[in-house]
Structure formats: C-alpha cells, structure tokens
Structure 1
Amino acid sequence: MTHLPDDAGGPLRPAVAEIDLEAVDHNVRLLRERVAPAEVIAVVKADAYGHGAVPVARAALGAGATWLAVALVEEAEELRAAGVTVPMLLLSEPPPAAAARVLAADLTPSVYTPIFAEALRVEAARRGRPVRVHVNADTGMGRVGVARTDWDGFLRTLRAWPDLEVQGLMSHFACADQPGHPSVRQQQQRFEEFLQLARTHGFDATLVHAANSAAALTIDESHYDAVRLGIAMYGAPPSPALASAAELRPVMRLVADVAFAKRVGAHSPISYGHSWSAPVAGVVATVPLGYADGVPRLLSNRGEVVLSGVRRPIVGAVTMDMFMVWCGDDQVDVGDQVVLLGRQEDAEVTATEWAHHADTIAYEILSRIAPRVPRVYLTGQASGG
C-alpha cells in the first residue's frame, strides 16, 4: 500500500512519486569520479526534471556538485529563497527587463545576444560591481548561442565592457547521445575554434564547459573544466544507446494503489473507444493516475505496470485520471500497490521504456509527472547548498 505524505488536509489519492535522494547522491558521485578533475554542474531546471528542485539540489551539492544550473530566473529565485547559496548558472537569457532580478539573485547568466548583455552591463554599472557571465557559442545546436559569424564581434563588444566579467565559455552538443554521430566531432572542433578566438581577445575564462550527460559519459575530451549533469543525475540514460554506459540508479519511483477491481466476462470492452476487450473472463484493475498526471495516453494498449511483482499490460485508453490493467485470473484487491515507474520485486518499468512506447524521450516522461502527484523524499533532504 502506498504511504501518503502525513499532512493534515493533504492529498487523499493513493498515488505518489517517491524520490530517492540516495540515488541522486550515487549518480553524482559516480559521474563526478568519472569526469574528474572537471567540476559537476547539477542541472535542476524544470523543478529538477520533475523531481523537486530544492531537495535534489541539496543532494547533488552534498555529493560534490559545485554549481547548479537552471533555465529560468524564477527557478533560481526558488532555490535562493530556500537558502541555497552556491554559484548558479542561468542557461537561457531572460527578457532584458529581468536583468535586475538576475543580479539580485546573484546568478551567473549565459549571454548570447547584445541586447541582453547590454541590459546586464547597465544594471551592473548601476550597482557598482561587475557581473560574471558565461558566453554561449552556437557550434551546431542551432537553438541559442552566438552564431559563428558573430563570435568575433560579440567578443569585441564584451571586451569593451568592464562591467561584464567573462568567467565562462560554453556550448551545447546536439547529438552526443548518438555515439559516432559526425556532428559531435564538428562541434568539438568549432568549440576549440571559439576558445582560441576568445583567448586572442584576452579572455582567460576559468570555467569552460560543453558536455551534457551524454558527452560526460562518452566524450572525455569534452569535459574541460566542468560538465553539466542533467538526465544522468536522475538515473536515466540520455538515450537507449547509452543504457549500459554507467551504473545509474533511477531516482523516481511512481506508484499508486489499485482503486477498483472487478471480474469481467470474455469480450468485455474497456475504456473510451472500446479499443480493447478482454480475451477471456478475468480481472481488470483500475489505477488512479491518468494523462493529467503525466501517464502518456500513448501507453494505451502498449505500456505495462508492475502489480504483485508481475508485469501486466495497460488495457484500453488511458483516461485523464485513471487507467486499467489486465490481471487475468490473479487475485487483485483494492489497495494493492502498482508500480508505474520503478521496481517491485524482480520486475521493473523504466522511463526509457515509457518513452519508447510514447515516441518521446525519458526527459519528457520524468519532467511531465504532474505537480498534483505528491513527491515523497525517502531519505530526507540531504545537506548542502
């Protein structure tokens, strides 16, 4: 049976996401040893990929991470409000009007557009102290970053602004999760070109970083001064091709109790659209989680869960708040625990498996487990910060 958080007036539905902070500790220590002497930047954007930013950040820092990284100023402000004081990298530029909040939160922003860099310069001058920045160069990702044709001009501009201190130089790999992809070597070469250009402009950055989890696992020469650990910190491989690259431990275990069970006759249709019917008489169990909770509708008639130590198929359409499981002739009772993600006895379902069925990636599966599913931290909040 699933144990709910012991909060008066708290959630009543028997469904939780168990977050194993010891697994965070294990994963960070494992990868920190692997990439040493490079530092570890723990990426806790999107509420730590749905795991809870504050407790995960503290666990990662306790395991030896020296930096945190977020995507939004608001994410950083939440961590600061919780008392987390370590250096924090802002991965994406916010609107220029947010410059004051960036500095107020003592963030180290990445910069890649003149308009945001100018806003930072003005705010830093107003406060009377320089702001440290990391210059993000687009070496082939094609998302954000200073375009290759603009590298020289952008660096010249920054060199002329003493209120901006270039502490870091960074980039991001597009295909590091695909071993042997030709773009990886090309991006590495372009990043080296960017680093050399920065040196010719007189920049001596103390933190050079390009590696994400995939590159940290597979491209030693990409480690530089630091690596940015995201999905691997949460115990999922960056891609199925890297499933055996490290002994990672999944951090999230998603569980719920059977809410309803009944015996149905042969050929009885189940759920919206009647896309599945019982092949013979047997037991169908209803689980109180659905696509509003992050269970992909594409798991309908495809995915499996673990119940009583046995993998069992999801049958019929996943609905907003519930889905059904075929149990055959087995005895199933209300209150029996169902494992959607994680292990029970010798059976396991992973985020990578869900991603395969839903034609997506494990990152999306984990980060879309909805806030209305309570998080339970099994080992308490680790120290650090």
Structure 2
Amino acid sequence: MQPRPGVPAEAVVDLAAITHNVGVVRRRVGAAAVMAVVKADAYGHGLVPVARAALAGGATWLGVAHVHEALALREAGVEADVLAWILTPGTDLVPAVRAGVDVSVAAVWALEAVVAAARATGRRARIHLEVDTGMSRGGASPAEWPALLDAVAKHVEAGAVQVRGTWAHFASADVPGDASVPAQLQAFEDALRTAREHGVDPGLRHHANSAAAFFVPSARYDLVRAGLAVYGLSPAPELATGADLGLRPAMTLAARLAHVRRVPAGAGVSYGLTYTVARETTLGLVPVGYGDGVPRHASWNGEHSGEVLVAGARRRIAGRVCMDQVVVDLGNDVAAPGDPALVFGPGADGEATADDWAAAAGTISWEIVTRIGSRVPRRYVGPTGGDVA
C-alpha cells in the first residue's frame, strides 16, 4: 500500500472492510439490530462514505454525538434512522426535527427544548431517553429519572414527542469479569421497569457498545451500538484480537519518504537530540507528524517508539515526533526519497497496527485512528469506494 503519486501521505480507507465488519457484528448479535456509530467523522474514516458502507453491511441505524453530524448525513442524502446523543442548551433543534433526526434526552430542560422544536415545525419529535446506569457521565440519574418520565409521558400524550428508544452506556464492558457490567444491567432493568410504571413505553432498548455486543449477550436487547468494531479493531483486546473476532481494519496510513540521508556515529536526531545513533546509519524522513495526528507520545523514549514499515522492515522512530514529520532509523538498508512508508494498517504486510501504535503511545486504538487529521487526504477503496479520493 502506498499513496498516489505526488501525495506525501494519505489515509486509505477500505469501505469493503467496513461493510464486512458490520456484517460480522450483525451475525454475532442475532435478532438485535445494529447501529453503526459514525461520530467524529466516523472515527476519522469519513462520515458519509462510512455511513453508506455500514448500511450496506446491514446496519439499520447510525449514531453520532452531535446534531450537526446527523444533519450532514441528511444533507448527503442518507435517509436511515440517525440518533444524535449530546445536546447542549441553545442548540437549534428545529432542523433536526424537520429532518427526522432522533435526539437523545437526559434531562427535563432538553425535553422542553425538543418539544419547542416540535411545536415550531408542527412535527412530532423522535427521542431516545438516556439513563445513567452507573457511568456517571451522560443520562438521567436514578433520582432524576422519575421526574423526566412524568414530563415525557405528558408530552407523548400531547403528541409532541415519540419515544423511540431508551438507552445507557457501559463503563467497563471491555474489562473481563468486571463487576460493574451486571450492576449496570440491573440498573437498566430497573429503569425500564420504572418507565413502564410511569406510563412510558421504552421503545428500542439499547445498552451495548462493541465490547458488550460481542462479549455480553444479555446486553444486546433490541439494538447494539457498534463503534470501534465497525472499523475493524478489537473493542476488548484482552479478550480477543480483531482477527479473532473476524474483523478487518479499515484504515491504512501510508506515506512516502521525503528525504534520506547518511549520518555518522554519534549524530543526534530531532528535537532535543533525544536519540543518538551508535554507529553510522541511514535516516529516512516520513512527512507526517502530530499535526496530522501521529501521537507525540510515540516518540523514542529510550526503550521503544512507534514503528514505520520502510524497505521491508519496521523502523523505530529516531527521536521525537515533530509537527509535520518523523525520522526513522534505517540502519544500513537502502532506501530512496519517494519509497513507501506504512505508518499503520491491518498488519498483513508486516506494518504496525493501530493497536501497536496505541501501545507505543500509551493510549487506545480508538484515539490512533480518530486523531488522523483533515490535512491527510482520504482515499476510499473497495466495492463501495471505487478507489477514489
């Protein structure tokens, strides 16, 4: 894999892998429907192309964080059900209600904002109720839940809103045997029962993220929200690799060497001269850096660093990751400007994976792919990509 001629670096996204991965999730969860989470520009892969590829794989819902992401899908002609789950006071919800976007409600103020938008459009708003089952992040707390339900019941009866789902989120479904998982499930069951007692039909019940979709069968309910798994990466590496789960990583970050030079023993490399070559060696300049999303924490720390595949072998980063470039140590191997340099990918050709880079940077694979910025052009390949930029 290498960038197109004249392109210093690009992220190549295999849309066939997206379609495949959604199919893997769909088969795993049985009767439950699949929501493909495409927030944050589809984890850096591209909102609209990924949404279409996910729907081709059998997803029937799309999930985003913010209303403007949902509206971007509508503007691109995507008509599938879309849920946006973070509302802030002052958000104009009229376009969302008019476009048939589902929005999440976790507080009475948010419900009133949605109702106001429904009245302004003359359309019934579609909502999902979020309950906090123990993560202490989003959602109505157990103390707030009954009052929210009473307000919802009133507006359902008035025809202003339709409850299409009730949901929550796991804190630690990726941790084997974590006690919070059954505790959260019990809290969710309690919240569902309370909803019915207050005259509110919960609609579609959804609690499972990718990890729970694979490893907590009792959490699948009516709908699962698949995020990381859609992009071919394991949501619970301690339990199974992506390959174990049948997933295919969709993104490859490919570049070309911009410069190659021979340096003498004792030469220091990059900012701070934190890397010194022990013997005469060849250095290659890869034109991507933290300005493109390559994590600076993957710089050489005296023991390890991120690695880039150049001239048939993985090469450690020599010194610090810079804003626009990294230097790799090629030893005595031969390379030339313009030669391909694979930063990460599926690993099939020996290149590092997003998981490898996450380990080098002390982070998670979610961050590695999502942080690849807009300066890096995307190229889409696969049956639904057509090998186009």
- Name the TM tier (shorter chain): over 0.9
Give the letter for the 1:236 counterpart.
L
From 62, 78, 86, give the equivalent of 2:72. 78
CA distance in 1, matches of 2:120, 2:382: 44
Mapped contact 1:24–1:56 kept (Cα < 8 A)? yes
Provide the rounded CA distance (Å) in 1 between the counterparts of 2:314 and 2:36.
33
Distance 1:14 1:382, change over 3 A: closer
Aligned residue for 1:231? 228
| Alignment of 1:57 onto 2:51 | yes
* One-letter amino acid matched to 2:208: A
Per-residue Cα deviation, 1:6-45 (whole angstroms, up to 9, x for no partner): xxxxxx5420000000110111001100001100001000
1:242 partner SS:
coil
Query: Aligned partners of 2:7 and 2:55: how far apart in 1?
Result: 33
Alignment of 1:193 with 2:190, yes or no, is yes
Q: Show CA shifts across 1:328-369 (max 9, x none).
A: 110111111011011566413111121122121111111110
| Matching residue's letter, 1:316 | G
Q: Answer yes or no: is the 8 Å Cα contact 1:2–1:14 preserved in 2.
A: no
In structure 1, the residue matched to 2:339 is: 336
Which amino acid is the alignment partner of residue 87 of structure 1?
D
| Distance 1:15-1:296 versus aligned 2 partners, 3 A rule | same
Q: Which residue of 2 aligns with 1:36?
A: 30
**Unpaired segments ≥5 residues, structure 1:** 6-11
1:76 and 1:105 in contact (8 A); partners too: no
Match of 2:246 in 1: 247
The yes-or-no answer on 1:285 pairing with 2:284 is: yes
Q: How far off its partner does 1:382 sit?
A: 5.8
**Counterparts of 1:175 and 1:69 in 2: how far apart (Å)?**
20
For 2:347 and 2:229, locate their aligned partners in 1 and report how far apart those are by CA, in whole Å.
Answer: 22
Deviations 1:91-121, CA, capped at 9 Å, x for gaps: 2123344221221332100100111101111
Q: Does 1:264 align with 2:246?
A: no
Which one-letter code corresponds to 2:124 in the other structure?
A: P
Residue 243 of structure 1 deviates from its aligned partner by 3.6
Q: Measure the CA separation in 1 of the matches of 2:385 and 2:257.
A: 32
Q: Which of 165, 170, 175 is 1:168 aligned to?
A: 165
Question: In structure 1, what is the equivalent of residue 94 of structure 2?
Answer: 100
In structure 2, distance between residues paired with 1:40 and 1:169: 15
* Of 313, 316, 321, the match for 2:319: 316
Structure 2 distance, partners of 1:372, 1:215, is 34
Q: Aligned equivalents of 1:60 and 1:252: distance in 2?
A: 15
- What SS is found at the alignment partner of 1:28? helix
Question: What residue is the counterpart of 1:348 in the other structure?
Answer: 351
Superposed CA RMSD in Å reads: 1.7
Cross-structure match for 1:294? 293
Structure 1 length normalisation: TM-score? 0.94
Q: Aligned letter for 1:248?
A: L
Question: Which residue number corresponds to residue 357 of structure 1?
Answer: 360
C-alpha distance 178-69 of structure 1, shift in aligned 2 (>3 A): same
CA distance 1:89–1:342, shift in 2 (3 Å): same
The answer to whether the Cα contact below 8 Å between 1:96 and 1:116 also exists between their aligned partners in 2 is no
Shift of 1:53: 0.5
* Aligned mates of 2:310, 2:376 — CA distance in 1: 19
User: Structure 1 pair 345/46, CA: closer, same or farther in 2 (3 Å)?
Assistant: closer
Q: Secondary structure at the match of 2:93?
A: helix
Q: State yes or no: 1:152 paired with 2:146.
A: yes
The code of the aligned residue for 1:314 comes to: I
Contact 2:97 2:121 in 1 (8 A): no
Distance 1:16 1:367 in 2: 14
Q: CA deviation at 1:308?
A: 2.3
Please tell me whether the aligned partners of residues 192 and 202 of structure 2 are also in contact (alpha carbons under 8 angstroms). no
Taking the aligned partners of 1:72 and 1:381, their CA distance within structure 2 comes to 26
Contact 1:290 1:319 survives alignment (8 Å): yes
Structure-2 separation of matches of 1:105 and 1:288: 42
Deviations 1:198-238 (A, max 9, x none): 12223333311000011111100000001001011101112
Give distance in 2, aligned partners of 1:241 and 1:344.
19
1:160 Cα deviation after fit: 0.9
User: Which residue identity does 2:2 align to in structure 1?
Assistant: T
Contact 2:284-2:330 at 8 Å conserved across structures: yes
Q: How does 1:196-215 map to 2 (within 5 A)?
A: 196-215=193-212
Distance 2:111 2:209 in 1: 24
Mean Cα deviation higher: 14-23 or 124-133: 124-133
Secondary structure in structure 1 of the residue aligned to 2:345: strand
Q: After TM superposition, give the deviation of residue 317 of structure 1 in Å.
A: 1.0
- Residue in 2 aligned with 1:8? none
Q: Percent identity?
A: 45
Q: Take 1:211 and 1:97, find their aligned partners in 2: how far apart are those partners?
A: 27
> Partner amino acid for 2:155?
W
Q: Give the equivalent residue in structure 2 for 1:9.
A: none
Q: Distance in 2 between matches of 1:151 and 1:71?
A: 22
Q: CA deviation at 1:161?
A: 1.0
Q: d(CA) in 1 for partners of 2:369 and 2:239?
A: 18
Amino acid paired to 1:159? A
Q: Which amino acid aligns with 2:370?
A: S
- The 8 Å contact of residues 290 and 324 in structure 2, kept in 1 or not, is answered as yes
Distance 1:179 1:235, change over 3 A: same
